[in-house]
Amino acid sequence: MTSRLRPGIGLLGWWLLVPLSAVLLLVRIGDSTGESVRWVLTWLIAVLLPGTLLWRALAGGRSLTQDLGFGAVLGLAWQLAVWAICTALGLPLLQWAFVAGLLLFFAFNKSLRPPVAAPPRWWHVLLVSSLLLAMVRTVLVLLRPVPLPPLPATRHQDIWYQLGLVQQLLHDVTPRDPWVLGEPLIYHWFATASMASGSVMADVRPATVLIHQWPLTMLLTLVLVGWAAGELLSERKWAAPLAGLLAGVLPGAIQLVNTPTANMSAAQVVQGPTGTMAAVVMLGLLGPTVLILRRQAGRGVWTVMVLMLALATGTKPTLLPIMLAGCLLAGGVAWVAEREAPWRIAALTGVTATFLLASSFALTGSTGGSRFQLLAALRVQPYYQAVTGDKSYPATGNWVLPSLEHGDARMILFAVVLVTYYLLVDAPRLLTLLGMKMSPMRRDPAYWWISGCVAAGTGVTLVFSHTGYSEYHFLGAILALGMVGVVAVGVNLAGQTRPRDLVIVAVAGLATAVALYLFWPTDTETHTVARAAAGLLAPFGVLALVGSLVILGINRTRQAASAAVQVIVLTVAASLPVQFIVIGDALRDASKPLPPPNIEYRTYLTREEQSAMLWLSKHLEPNDVAVSNVFCMPVPYRPGCPNDAYWMSGLSGVQMWMGGWAYAPANLAATEHKHSFLLQQSPWPDRVLDSRIAVEKPSEAHLAKLAGDVGVTLIIGDLRAGPVSPKLDQLAIPIYRNQDIRIYRLK
């Protein structure tokens, strides 16, 4: 018998710690109290609550864990659908009416809210604790080092690119390229559309949303869906907190020594919101997929499946290929096992393929110049350049990495070392593949699906090459999914061994990892294959040796299932020490001021530059178009400079006639696998020249031509980029000036 959840005052107060802590942490790193409160409430009321109600109504309300987790992801699909309708109507605030209407509809239709068993008290304590720990870690480690504008700082240039998209999506559901007037925007912009929706509804500045607030609520979604995915896949409620912990709270890889470092933030990065959302959506896809594979899906689940796939379509180009690989593997295995065509999996595969094809026309932007190239991902692995001397640009060369083209045995051996290291760093996730071998998981198509997804994300990274190393987004998409998979495999095998043995191997993994981190010698001048192999693989060899001795010593029956779960516990435990070190360092530094920015770094922006654009964002007129002398970072223009200056449109929302062109499809395609997209001349050299003339050597005739033929209304001159002609004071109307920036409106 089930009963509705009616938490007491104590549990309600415990849950209130989550939004209260979120606001306090945001205020601690520079956000305003009012904006933080409005943002958190907007996410709770307009995303989480509608998504939870929709999931419960469509998928049957199996548990509160699954309602909240998968509902949080479904809420993103709901949010984007409502945003699209209201923004297309020119009434973005109408989104609140849709939210109110949905909540009232559910309030008066109790039949759509099936009863859910009240979870035990430990569930509340552990879930809230997970959310609190995840927020502290993310705010201190990832968000605090990136201050809000206009503080002078060296932020990643992609922040401004994403912010420019948010500015476009505040008013338009068919965004254009903010930096090249008249060019279509072919890009996966659903993450920035989510930010635009929240920015309007909560009345929060777009920069604040992108840099601090959206990443925090997306993290809460990651933890919630991690819990839900762990419970559903494993079919055990106690697996949920483990899955949520490893997917969203401590999401790192195995780093056993101080150097080289491994990725300790998984897919969570401020400058890459599409990757952050991709990890969340990948876990969300697990919900309806597992129900379909296990023959537990009705029409409602298929509806959710379509909505989730639609969400994935515009989130990241990596998601649907990974999903498709998992479906193909699960379908093939089910066909053999069931001795008949698995039509449910065939239908799922067909729907996924249809969405993948549809997305290729408008939503897979930034893939231009990409290609298949074996082992191209090794370019950014430790010691690659020092050992090989290869400094080729990404996506250049032939079908294989340039250092391997001539079949040099030493380079082949080094490639083997790097691939082995690449796999070992993410060994906990790859142990999900044990589900294809061990009983009872091997009889469950859900485990074949998740194994196919993890293998695809890991493998495609090694055979694909992107002009900006974005092949690693295939790996990033399955990082959280892989941790959920290994937890599910582990808890299914846990009954095959004694709890005491699991404690022993966990302590062995932790102790070995700590000892290696503290005492392993650091070699910062590695330049040979032998030294690279010693530095990268030998620590894992020590862990393997210790683990083998411990597991063989306690596993007298030599049962495969018992040994498998012990290996899982050992590797997961070995991944934790560096995570705690990272959190400890962040806590230690939390009371100290941030170090001053490096003004020599190429992405440095002054307070004056940022303040001018923030001022302009409040004084733009409809259909304003600007020319500027800023195209590169650092700002002085010269042929071959890094052409990724996106901050003017990002901070102001103004449409540029010609801004940075690094990510424009025409520029990416022009690399021809021979050049860096960052250093190429503009595909529109006439625009660059005319823009520079307008700022540096203006004439009445030239400005009239720009205004009449192009529709230019504003001239923005940056003194750090070059001279700004004093003639503009007579030829145009000065509307803003400070130490670095001059802004003029054409007469």
Asked if pLDDT for residue 511 goes beyond 60, the answer is yes
Using DSSP, state whether 547 is helix, strand or coil.
helix
Task: Give me the DSSP letters along 560-614.
Answer: HHHHHHHHHHHHHHHHHHHHHHHHHHHHHHTTSPPPPP-TTSTT-B-HHHHHHHH
What residue type is 31 in one-letter code? D
CA distance 83 to 376: 39
Instruction: Identify the helix (H) or strand (E) that includes residue 625.
Output: strand 625-628
Least trusted range by pLDDT, from 257-266, 664-673, 683-692: 257-266
Of the candidates 649, 657, 638, 660, the one whose C-alpha atom is nearest the C-alpha of residue 721 is 638
Query: Region 225-244: what's the mean pLDDT?
Result: 96
Of the candidates 315, 362, 355, the one whose C-alpha atom is nearest the C-alpha of residue 665 is 362
pLDDT in tens, 419-462: 999 999 999 999 999 999 998 889 999 999 999 999 999 999 99
Residue 746: strand pairing partners? 732
Give the dihedral of Cα atoms 587, 588, 591, 593; nearest 10 deg. Answer: -110
Split at pLDDT 50, 70, 90, the class of 495 is confident
pLDDT for 466: 82
Asked if pLDDT for residue 178 goes beyond 50, the answer is yes
CA distance 337 to 335: 6
Query: Region 134-138: what's the mean pLDDT?
Result: 94
User: With the C-alpha atoms ordered 52, 56, 57, 59, is the resulting torsion angle positive or negative?
Assistant: positive
CA distance 566 to 554: 10
pLDDT for 368: 57
Least trusted range by pLDDT, from 521-525, 619-623, 639-643: 521-525
pLDDT in tens, 236-270: 999 999 999 999 988 768 999 988 887 766 657 77
Pairing of strands 732-737, 625-628: unpaired
CA distance 329 to 321: 12
- b/e map of 439-453 (b: 16 or more CB within 10 Å)? eebbebbbbbbbbbb
Of the candidates 46, 33, 130, 29, the one whose C-alpha atom is nearest the C-alpha of residue 81 is 46
The CA-CA-CA angle for residues 341, 343, 346, to 5°, reads 100
Asked if pLDDT for residue 706 goes beyond 70, the answer is yes
349 touches 327 (CB < 8 A): yes
pLDDT for 671: 80
The side-by-side arrangement of strands in the sheet containing 732-737 is: 655-656, 625-628, 714-718, 741-746, 732-737
In order of 17, 19, 77, the CA distances from 44 in angstroms are 14, 9, 15
Split at pLDDT 50, 70, 90, the class of 1 is very low
Asked if pLDDT for residue 4 goes beyond 60, the answer is no
Question: Residue for token digits 């192009």?
Answer: 710
Asked if pLDDT for residue 485 goes beyond 50, the answer is yes
The first and second tokens of residue 101, run together, are 């209407």
CA distance 167 to 147: 19
pLDDT for 338: 85
Instruction: Identify the helix (H) or strand (E) that includes residue 346.
Output: helix 343-359
Least trusted range by pLDDT, from 52-56, 61-65, 249-253, 562-566: 249-253
Question: Residue for token digits 């996106």?
Answer: 646
Q: pTM for the full model? A: 0.94
pLDDT for 367: 56
pLDDT in tens, 459-468: 999 998 887 8
Q: DSSP character for 707?
A: I
The first and second tokens of residue 517, run together, are 């981190």
Asked if pLDDT for residue 396 goes beyond 90, the answer is no
Give the dihedral of Cα atoms 193, 197, 200, 201; nearest 10 deg. Answer: -170
Split at pLDDT 50, 70, 90, the class of 677 is confident
Least trusted range by pLDDT, from 61-75, 267-281, 704-718: 267-281
User: With the C-alpha atoms ordered 475, 217, 595, 250, is the resulting torsion angle positive or negative?
Assistant: negative
Using DSSP, state whether 529 is helix, strand or coil.
helix
Q: How many residues make up the chain in this entry?
A: 747
Higher per-residue pLDDT: 1 or 383: 383
Task: Specify which of 319-323, 467-471, 589-593 reaches the highest per-range mean pLDDT.
Answer: 319-323
Split at pLDDT 50, 70, 90, the class of 674 is confident
Split at pLDDT 50, 70, 90, the class of 363 is low
pLDDT for 384: 92
User: With the C-alpha atoms ordered 673, 163, 458, 73, is the resulting torsion angle positive or negative?
Assistant: negative
Give the dihedral of Cα atoms 471, 477, 480, 486; nearest 10 deg. Answer: -80
pLDDT for 364: 60
Q: Give the number of C-alpha atoms closer than 13 A to the C-alpha of residue 47, restricted to the C-beta side.
A: 26
Using DSSP, state whether 656 is helix, strand or coil.
strand
Residue 716: strand pairing partners? 628, 743
One-letter-per-residue 3-state SS of 267-283: CCCCCCHHHHHHHHHHH
pLDDT in tens, 266-293: 657 777 899 999 999 999 999 999 999 9
Using DSSP, state whether 746 is helix, strand or coil.
strand
Strand blocks (E) in 178-303: none
Least trusted range by pLDDT, from 163-167, 522-526, 585-589: 522-526
Q: What share of the chain is helix, strand, coil (3-state, %, to 5)?
A: 60, 5, 35
In order of 12, 381, 689, 698, 746, the CA distances from 692 in angstroms are 60, 40, 5, 9, 16
% residues pLDDT > 70 (the chain): 97
pLDDT for 74: 98
Rg over CA atoms, the chain: 27
CA distance 163 to 207: 7
CA distance 403 to 390: 6
In order of 329, 337, 347, 352, 447, the CA distances from 342 in angstroms are 12, 10, 9, 16, 16
Least trusted range by pLDDT, from 191-195, 495-499, 725-729, 739-743: 495-499
Asked if pLDDT for residue 321 goes beyond 80, the answer is yes
